[in-house]
Amino acid sequence: MPRYKLIVEYDGTPYVGWQWQDNGRAAQQALEEALTAFTGEKLRVQCAGRTDAGVHATHQVVHVDLARDWRPDKVRDATNAHLKLQRDSVAVVDAQVVDATFDARHSAVRRHYLYRILNRRPQPALERHRVWHVPRALDAAAMHEAAQLLLGKHDFTTFRAADCQATSPIRTLERLDVERIGEEVRIFASARSFLHHQVRSMTGTLELVGAGKWAPTDVRAALDARQRSRCGPMAPADGLYLVGVDYGIEA
């Protein structure tokens, strides 16, 4: 039974999140239904990282075991044909056969996220639901300075969702860079794993720094407090993207 690694992208706007839920259609559901329509098998895929409702992905990684030894390009193209038929905003970008020991989630050593803020007075037309529109001026350099105070191994309780199911709030944040590219402020975050809502919580807090409401040292004080009440407002899901997953030995 060959195992396939799929690189998947999706617009999270119409979905209740990556994972199957009772209250609406999920990106996982769309992918699995397309794979089933193609192969005739009842399948479950495993992903590198579950995303919330409205969150997008340009590089989600999943693995799936198929009964037949299909060519990888056939798996990609046939699955996409069924996704297109169902008008789902999900696409398989790449497919390859991997060793049976590869696990999309547990083999991952690093995950990368991008958060996009459209920082201009007019609201977005073409990028609606794909950016966080912040009309007030933001100082990206100040946001970056504050972001560096969050790097390293810490108790991130302040930036953790109240219903987070992780057994520990301790995480090691490897990268948190903020840069301005034209009208966009972009935040890049990398770690082995993140707590539920961690990136969106950090982004909302950094926005306060960019707007001049907080000083960079206030961000560090909030982290050290280890209290959810000290976090800034959580940024919306619209601007968040899963953009990469690293593995120790690339399959």
In whole angstroms, what is the distance from residue 4 CA to residue 69 CA?
10
Dihedral angle over CA of 136, 138, 143, 144, nearest 10:
150
The enclosing H or E element of 109 equals strand 108-118
3-state secondary structure 149-186: CCCEEEECHHHCCCCCCCCCCEEEEEEEEEEEECCEEE
Report how far Cα 129 is from the mean position of its chain's Cα atoms: 15
Given the structure tokens 């770690």, which residue do they identify? 191
Please indicate, yes or no, whether the overall pTM of this predicted structure exceeds 0.75: yes
What does each C-alpha distance from 190 to 16, 40, 118 come to in angstroms? Answer: 24, 38, 21
Q: Residue 238: is it exposed, middle or buried by C-beta count within 10 angstroms (0-12/13-18/19+)?
A: buried
Report how far Cα 123 is from the mean position of its chain's Cα atoms: 23
How confident is the prediction along the chain (251 residues), in pLDDT tens digits per residue? 899 999 999 999 999 999 998 889 999 999 999 999 999 999 999 999 999 999 999 999 999 999 999 999 999 999 999 999 999 999 999 999 999 999 999 999 999 999 999 999 999 999 999 999 999 999 999 999 999 999 999 999 999 998 888 899 999 999 999 999 999 999 999 999 999 999 999 999 999 999 999 999 999 999 999 999 999 999 999 999 999 999 986 54
pLDDT in tens, 166-219: 899 999 999 999 999 999 999 999 999 999 999 999 999 999 999 999 999 999
Q: Residues of the chain with pLDDT > 90: what percent? A: 94
In whole angstroms, what is the distance from residue 241 CA to residue 3 CA?
26
Q: How many CB atoms lie within 10 A of CB 217?
A: 12
Q: Could you list the active site residues? A: 52
CB-based contacts of 128, cutoff 8 Å, min separation 6: none
Given the structure tokens 């926005």, which residue do they identify? 207
In degrees and rounded to multiples of 5, residue 19 shows phi and psi of -80, 145
